[in-house]
Amino acid sequence: MIPSLEQTKRRRGSGVATVYDTLKREILELRLRPGSPIDETNLTERFGMSRTPIREALIKLAGEGLVLALPNRSTIVAPIDLLDLPQFFDALTLMYRVTTRLAAANHTAEDLLTIRELQQGYAEAVAARDISDMIEVNRDFHSAIAAAGRNHYYCDMFDRLLDEGRRLLRFYYSSFNDDLPALFLDEHEEMVRAIEARDVAASDRIAKQHADQIVRQIQAYITSDRRENGDMTL
């Protein structure tokens, strides 16, 4: 036995969670390429557990649309269809607006504190030029705003959209010149102020403006047909 591979006994039930979290992160960070096959037997060796918990994690991922289960064939990482982009942007914009409005109306003091902390974290990620952190904190920032809106239906929908979006942002951020994340920082600041002031109309306006900004950037990136897109299964 190789000591470094020895497994300390796992807590009962932690198996699925481990596989689920790990795979989800790898999918959202594009470390697992869209369309690439996922072999249960391989994961068996990698995670050092039987196929059952791995299978259950994959089923959960399939339920969220992050993975596609082909009957009697290996499941694959959900492909990204560029034709879906306009629809995605439409839904994202709407959810930005709705959640920000509700946050302005319903937030508590603690909510605002959490939101401000996350925005601080985003500022630090921008300063450190840490793309991974930027994308993840940005997601958490908007998710926290949704949570402050106190409607778990919107929260669930929005979180799903934001996750889907993380894969897109992976492309997106690579097209940035350095001043754009700073621009987002300003828009986020505006957004927080509007929420704090409980100004629903302003929150809505800024959310829409923020969404449009993002949409414009990504679409500009896509229509610029960079060569680097070639190797990605889209």
Partner DNA sequence: TGTATTTTTCGTGTCGACATGAAAAATATT
Partner DNA sequence: AATATTTTTCATGTCGACACGAAAAATACA
Q: Do residues 54 and 40 touch, judged by C-beta distance below 8 A?
A: yes
**94 lies in the binding site for a second copy (CB under 8 A):** yes
Binding flag, residue 123, a second copy (CB under 8 A): no
Q: Which stretch binds a second copy (CB under 8 A): 53-61, 112-120, 132-140, 167-175?
A: 53-61
What CA–CA distance (Å, rounded) separates 165 from 28? 9
CB of 47 to DNA, least distance (A): 8
C-alpha 61/C-alpha 16 separation (Å) is 11
Q: Which is nearer to DNA, 66 or 218 (CB)?
A: 66
> If you compute the radius of gyration of the chain from its CA atoms, what whole number of angstroms results?
20
Q: Could you say which of DNA, a second copy, none residue 15 binds, taking C-beta under 5 to 8 angstroms by partner kind?
A: DNA
**Distance between CA 82 and CA 97 in Å, rounded?**
23
- Any contact of residue 157 with a second copy (CB under 8 A)? yes
Residue 192 sits in the site that holds DNA (CB under 7 A): no
Q: Please report which residue ranges of the chain form alpha helices under DSSP H.
A: 14-28, 40-47, 51-63, 85-106, 109-127, 131-148, 152-173, 179-196, 200-223
Residues 6 or more apart whose CB falls under 8 angstroms from that of 6 comprise none
Q: How many residues bind a second copy (CB under 8 A)?
A: 27
Q: Does 233 bind DNA (CB under 7 A)?
A: no
- Can you give the binding site for a second copy, defined by CB under 8 A? 12-13, 52, 55-56, 59-60, 63-65, 71-72, 84, 87-88, 90-91, 94, 98, 150-154, 156-157, 161
Site residues, DNA (CB under 7 A): 10-16, 37-41, 49-53, 55-56, 69, 71-75
